[in-house]
Amino acid sequence: MKSKSKSLSEPQFLELLQKVLPQATPDARLASAIYNQVAQEIRRINQVKSLEKFCAEGSLPDTKPATIAEFQGSLAANFGPENVSLTPTEAGDAVTVEVTLPDRQIKDRIRIKTGPEEVEEVKVPHVPFPVALPEDPELLWVLARREDFGPDEAARALAVIEEEFWESKAGQKLLRDRVEKTFAEFIANVPAAALAERGLKRHYKAPEPRQTLRRLVPGEAAKG
């Protein structure tokens, strides 16, 4: 099996360049000048990539003079103060960035954060939730419930979901197609979203003490 070749990293490339330049030219000053010029160009390429990534993914908190000055100072350290120009847009929703390089000019925009950062929703893990019917306690359906959702609460929710499913268009169609109104058919046909909305899943891998379902009496579903 052939191994895939890997490209050289920046330090590896510069180390190789430093090794081969003296072999390519006996002029030590020329070799040093070439090395320094190549290293400077690599740094510039990386600085441009970082700027482009920040413009695409980052933001500034506002367009206050202090904020603009701080951002301009960080760019000036990389590209030189005379080569950097920042101009807030009239709408105040972004800042235009212009960087002048020897071989080209970069023009981009960095957005202004207009509201609080979105807080990533913490996902609650699921745990096993085996259930059985009173008429057949030996037959288990290994479902899953959210960890913060107690077994009794999950059982009530599941009973409500089943009641609502058979009253839905999908459930009524199954009944018209002579599908038997059973818990097995309900589990097989209920949309996963209907279970997920109430913190349940259709299946799980690991066992847990089973939960025997209690059938709802008429009108109890509405209370749930």
Instruction: Please name the residue ranges forming H helices in 58-150.
Output: 65-79
pLDDT digits 0-9 by tens, 28-77: 888 888 888 888 888 888 888 888 888 888 888 888 888 888 888 888 88
* Single pTM value for the model: 0.44
For residue 198, give its domain range. Answer: 126-223
Mean pLDDT of 8-23: 79
Q: How many domains does the structure of the chain reveal? A: 3
Residues 139 and 213 in one domain: yes
Q: Is the pLDDT of residue 1 over 50?
A: no
Mean pLDDT of 194-214: 68
CB of 131 within 8 A of CB of 158?
yes
Q: Which residues pair with 96 in a beta bridge?
A: 87, 109
Residues 17 and 90 in one domain: no
Mean pLDDT of 119-138: 77
